[in-house]
Structure formats: C-alpha cells, structure tokens
Structure 1
C-alpha cells in the first residue's frame, strides 16, 4: 500500500501561534459544554422535564464523538486551514439553528450537528504536536489542553450567567458569533501544511480501528480517558441538577460560578505536560487517576448543603478537572509519539473512545442522580477511575517478568520504526 505523499518541512510553532491555537481550542470546545449549565432554563422554557433537557448535553457529546470519528481523520488528508475554517462556519450555522429552536427535538438535533462539526481542537492539537520539537511535545500539548480546559469550564460560567440574564437562547447565538470570528482569525493565521497521506476517505475511517487493534499503548490511553472522562461528565451534568434542586435551591448562575472555581485547573495542564516530558506518561497517569477517585470522595460533602457543601463541591470539581485534563496530556503525549504520520487518526481513535465514555457518563450521571441522589453520582465518579486503577494494578503484576512489546515500551522508541510506514501497512497481528 502507498505510504502517502512525502511530508514537507513543517513551519515553526511560535509563541503567538501557540497562544492562538490554545484560545481556538477553548472557544471551539465550549460549544458542547455550555448546555450543561442552562439545561434547567431549557426545561422551563420548553416545558419538559429536567432529565429530558439534560439529553441536549448527551446529544452534543454524541455528535462530538461522531465528528471525531468521521471528520478528524481528514486532518491527515486535507490542508488544515481550509478544513478548520469550513468546520467552524458549519458550527456557526448549527448554533444559530439551536438558538432559534422551538422544540426539544430540534434543539437536540442542532446541538448534535454543532457537536459533530466543532471538532476543531482535535485537529489543531495533533497539528501542533507535529509542528513542535519532540522534546517540547508534551509542553505544547499541555498548553493547548490548558486552553481546551479553560473553554470547557468557562463555557458553563458564560452560559449560566448569560442565560440567567437573557434566556437560554442567548448563549447559542453569542457562541455562533464567536465561531464566525474564530474562523476568520484561523483562516489568516494557520500555516500552510502538507497532507501526510493520500488515502481515500474509507481507508482513513478504517485506520483508527486498525490502530486500536494493533497499538496496545493507544488502547491503554483510550481506556484511561474513557473511565476518567465518564466520571467528569457525570459530575458536571448532575451538579446543575444538584445546585438548582431542593438541597441548595440556587439558579443557573451558581453553576457558572462553580465552573469559574474549577477553571483554575487550566493552569495545571502545562505543568502536567512538562512532567510528562521529564518522567513519562505512566507516572502522570497514575497520579491523575488517584486524584479522580479522591475527587469523587470529596464531592460527597456536597450533600451537606450550605457553605460547607458548596466548598466541598468547588474543591471536588477542581480536583476532578485537574486530574482528568492532566491525565489527557499524558495520554495524548503517549499516542502522538507512536506514528508521526498518523497523528490525526491516532487522535481520532483516542478521542472517539473518550467522548463515547463522556456521553455514557452524562447519561449515567442523570440516572444516578434521579435514582440515588448526589450520593449516587459521587459513587459513580469514584467507581469509573477506580476501574482504571484496578486495571493498572493488574497490568503491573506480570510486567516484572513479561517483556514489553515495542508499543508498550517508551513511545519515543516505538515511533522510530513506525514512522516510515503508513498505518494501513501495519499487519493485523503482532
């Protein structure tokens, strides 16, 4: 099979472009998170139950997972500037449709479409990893994920506050304007990058599945993020129901304030990137997974209500955000070192799994809250990363005697022999 066209020398990734890409990641990803803070407002205006309104969040995340699988592989096939601009303009149109929807099904469908096309961060992050020097890959990934985390968390503050003032439609329409501005900025600033493969579209879609089958390090990274991101999504989807419910009786701006506290976690991801560059991803993953379990235990204080409960919710959400996003830095640094010519498709496999986990977490979080209250949500938050810890412990037991495969050894070592071949040339069994 063809290994694709030769890759042209990459432009330098300077500080200004890194900052712009970080901001772009935050603005783009906010689209699938700000509905979490305004779902109670949607329920009141459209006269549906809070549980039904929360499905808007699940649909947006499912759309994001679909977009990662269907669109992100094109980052290896098409020039980034045109692809990113087109996706942002489509997202803008979908947000306008959502902001003018009069029924829940239309809103859910528009949110799913916006989620599908707002996958720009998952194209920009592999691109930046390719432009960065290998010894700075973790730090650059951490910087962009810092912007991503800021967008995730500040989106709730933005939508909760603006929704309380102007209604739930306003966040959608303002976000549409921001997408239009971002499309213009990136169309002017993105460097000219050469495609790394000339594979047809069906082959691009098949490659992530093949990579999942043949790369143990990719599977390990994906499973880590599935479990921790499920806990993250469960907590953030259910906390809006908790704060606006009978224990606290607060409005949607309270969700935004809580998210603003959690936004401090965005400063941790560059640190996690530097630690990953120095100590390797496994050490960072272990600390982050333990932190996610501890966050679930800390969130149990939220059932107390009052100032003590609010303080516990803020501290628990901050710890959970730091753990999940810092763990993602380590996971992505690991996978981007595997096959430089297929970073977009590696990210496709990884992030599709992650957002399927996040969608399941949102759905399970609402069900756990309805059936068992906030205690049930906290149990779910502890259980999901606890499974990741259990898997790590079981994997470590035979590692003292069993030799590592090339892919489970140092990813930098594994990348060298693989870089000369296209992923479609990998044998189906090792």
Structure 2
C-alpha cells in the first residue's frame, strides 16, 4: 500500500459515495422540472439509498469470492450505465428506478475498505481507514456542491451525465492499476449471502457497531434530506446552491477523519464512539437554532452540520476498526453486515426526516436526530458499565499481541474471548 495506491483507492471511495449523495442537493430542481411535489422528488434520494443498501447486502460479499479488480471494474461500469439512464429519464418514475440501479451498483467504497484492510498491518489499519473515509467524505460533501452548482446552471440532468463520465473513466483506470488479489474464500454465493446474518447473530461487537452507525446515520440522512427544504423555504428563501455552499464549508471534516483514525489506534474504538455520540447530541441542539432563520440561524446550521459530519464519520472509523478486527478471513462479509445496517438506517432516516418535517418542521427533524443518538448512547453506556472493573475502555479496545490469534478484540470481552491479563498486560497495552 503505497501513497499512490492509497490516493487512488480514496478517489474510488469519493466517486462511489458521491453518487449516493449528490441527488440530495437537486431535489427541488427535479421537482420543478418534472412538475412533481418536493416530497415525491425526495423519493429519488430514498431510492438511491435503498439501492445502495441492497447492493451492500447482495454484491459486497462477492469480495470474498471474486478478485477485487474485475469486481470493482464491473460494478463501476454498471453504475455509469445507471447514471446515464437517470440523466435521460423522461419522468419521475423512471428516474426513481434508475436511481435505485445507481445505488445498487455504486458500492465501490464498501469493497475498497476490506481490500485496504488486508493490505496493511493492524498498527496502521485505523489510519488507513481514516484516509479512505476522508475520500468518502470528500465525495459526499463535494458532490452536493457540484450537483447544486451544475444543476442550477445546466439543469438537473447535467450532474447525472457528468457523474457517469467520471465513473466510467475511473473504471478504466482501475482496470489497469489495481493489484491482482486472490479471494480469501471459495464459498458459494448462497453461503456468502447467509454468512453476514450468521456473523451478525454471533458477534456482539458487530451488532452494537451496527446499532451505533445505523442510528447516527439515520439522523445524518434526515438532516441532509430536509436541508434543501429548509433553505429554500420561507425561513431563508435561498436557492439550491445554498445547500452546496453549506456542504462545501463542511469539507473541513476531511481533515478530521485521519486524526480520528489515529485516535482509534491509540485509545480504542469505545473511547472514540463515546465522544462521537455526545457530539451528535450537541449537533442536534445547534441545528435546532437554525430554524430561526437569518444570519444567526445560518451560522448555527453550518456549525451543527459540521459537528454532525465529524461525529458521524469519526464514529464510522471506530466501528469499522472494531468490525474488521473480528475475522481476517471474512472482512467483506463483516463489512456487508455492518454497512447493510448502517445504510438501512440512513434510508429510514431519509424517509422519516421528510415526514417529520412535514408534521413538525425543522425542529422535529432535530428532535429526531437527538432521539436516535440517545438510543445509541444508552446502549454504549450499558456496555461500558458491564465492562470488567478496573480496565478502562481504551485498554479494552487495545490490540492484543499479534501472535495470540485473531488480533484486536475491540469493545471488551465476550464468549470465547479471554479477558486482558493482570498489571503487566495493562502496562504493555499502555506502552503500545
């Protein structure tokens, strides 16, 4: 894993994730051009995220059976075709269907993560995951700015067609540059589909990581799906480009995720998760001020979305580090279980956010974010209270001696997992 390869993989994450998020900024343009209610146009975002969830469940497990290079190239090619179909859709129905296809096939980032995890040692895994997540975050944020700006100038179809050209170009580059890898498993496809559920049922650390990310991501999706409704509504009366500008300000989050990855390597996943969940609650309070409108409200919106983005992405790094440490031979399937839950939460958050906004306005959306984060925080505090007395969370998440089995046991002890030894083991963990 040299710098050039890490940069290429980060770019792949950015493009793949950007395809999921850029429709959030052009919803009002789609509604106006296709003569549809804004609530109906929001179905484009929901369909993309539902397709993405289905792609994670159905296609990402193939990373444990098919070499990564041909799999990534094929999926990017199909995603490019779906973007072309979406850009040429004559009505809302075909656009929603094409968006589902785009979401289904643009799962490159979820294949890049297990690929990269197998190319680096445990002592660098958190930092590499943070760098890849910076790429994903760049795609998420800049795609909104790109689509809003381009859509206002050239119409809502232009972002889809430009994204299709970028995806197809990236597929050609990956076909020539990705290293050849051998799949770690020869299990049949049916077995691969069933394995994520078995892993989810058998791994407590996987289940709680799924809960943390699903709830936080649901709140995140609710905020960004309703952001265009708030900024273009009577409180602000701004254009769609305002959504892109808010997202562009939040690009500073890209600088935070590598730092969060290093904190996961140093302090452990549980410690980072605790800080992130508390930060989501603080972000909900800031976002609620945004309903007042005017300059103070806009400043609160920017600060709240920035804090929410940092917390969500940093929590993602902590959760993935915990999950990838469970079984080296099943990282794609572990990532399938984790990401399926996360994006199912995101899809539910988009759906709930639009309906809560219709009933209770922006304040209701902020209350939804706080309630979801509260559920995750209650679970996390329960885990910390049940931990063995005298062992801080940071030590419970510290890596074991590499010669003693599967590697890190994040999140504490569990069935079949020996607890850390006495004082000498704790001193060694602190040294590391």
Deviations 1:131-158 (A, max 9, x none): 0121000000000000001101111100
Aligned partner of 1:381 among 369, 373, 384: 369
Answer whether contact 1:337 1:412 (CA < 8 A) is retained: no
Q: In structure 2, how many angstroms separate the alpha carbons of the residues matched to 1:412 and 1:299?
A: 41
State the match for 2:419 in structure 1. none
Question: Are residues 1:252 and 2:240 paired?
Answer: yes
1:306 has 2:298 as partner: no
Secondary structure of the corresponding residue to residue 131 of structure 1: coil
| Cα deviation code 1:377-407 (max 9, x no counterpart) | 1111111111111112223333346999xxx
SS in 1 for 2:171: helix
Q: Establish whether residue 97 from structure 1 lines up as the match of residue 91 from structure 2.
A: no
Q: Is the 8 A contact 2:288 2:362 kept in 1?
A: yes
Unaligned runs of 5+ in 1: 1-12, 420-426
1:351-362 equivalences under 5 Å are 351-362=339-350
Q: How does 1:17-166 map to 2 (within 5 A)?
A: 17-166=5-154
Looking at structure 2, the residues matched to 181 and 300 of structure 1 have their Cα atoms a distance apart, in angstroms, of 41
Counterpart of 1:286 (choices 266, 274, 296) is 274
Cα 1:351–1:414 shift into 2, 3 Å: farther
1:331 counterpart residue number: 319
Q: Distance in 1 between matches of 2:399 and 2:197?
A: 19
* CA deviation vs aligned residue, 1:195-245 (integer Å, no higher than 9, x gap): 100000000001100000111111111110001000100000011100011
Question: Is contact 1:339–1:415 with CA below 8 Å preserved after alignment?
Answer: no
After superposition, the Cα gap between the structure-2 partners of 1:387 and 1:411, relative to the gap in structure 1 and judged at 3 Å, is farther
Q: CA deviation at 1:410?
A: 5.4
TM-score normalised by structure 2 residue count? 0.91
Q: Distance in 1 between matches of 2:80 and 2:310?
A: 30
List per-residue Cα deviations over 1:279-320 (Å, max 9, x = no partner). 110000110111111101000111111111111111100000
What residue number does 1:397 align with? Answer: 385
1:297 aligns to 2:285 (yes or no): yes
Instruction: Answer yes or no: is the 8 Å Cα contact 2:26–2:147 preserved in 1.
Output: yes
SS of the counterpart of 2:118?
A: helix
Alignment of 1:100-249 (within 5 A): 100-249=88-237
2:218 is the alignment partner of 1:261: no
CA distance in 1, matches of 2:348, 2:32: 25
Q: In 2, Cα distance between the equivalents of 1:355 and 1:316?
A: 22
Whole-angstrom distance in 2 between the partners of 1:414 and 1:292: 34
Instruction: Name the structure, 1 or 2, with higher relative contact order (CA <8 Å, separation 6+).
Output: 1
Partner of 1:34, secondary structure, is: helix
Q: In structure 2, list runs of 5 or more residues that go unmatched.
A: 408-414, 416-432
2:2 is equivalent to residue 14 of structure 1: yes
Query: Whole-Å Cα distance in 2 between the matches of residues 343 and 106 of structure 1?
Result: 35
Aligned match of 2:422 = none
Question: Deviations for 1:55-104, whole angstroms, at most 9, x for unmatched residues?
Answer: 11011000000000000001111111100000000000000000000111
CA distance in 2, matches of 1:251, 1:268: 29
Q: 1:349 aligns with which of 326, 330, 337?
A: 337
Q: How many angstroms apart in 1 are the aligned matches of 2:383 and 2:76?
A: 41
Tell me the alpha carbon deviations over residues 300-349 of structure 1, each in whole angstroms, 9 at most, x when there is no partner.
11111111111111110000000000100010011111101111100000
**Alignment: residue pair count:** 407
What TM-score does the superposition give when structure 1 sets the normalisation length? Answer: 0.91
Counterpart Cα distance in 1 of 2:317 and 2:399: 14
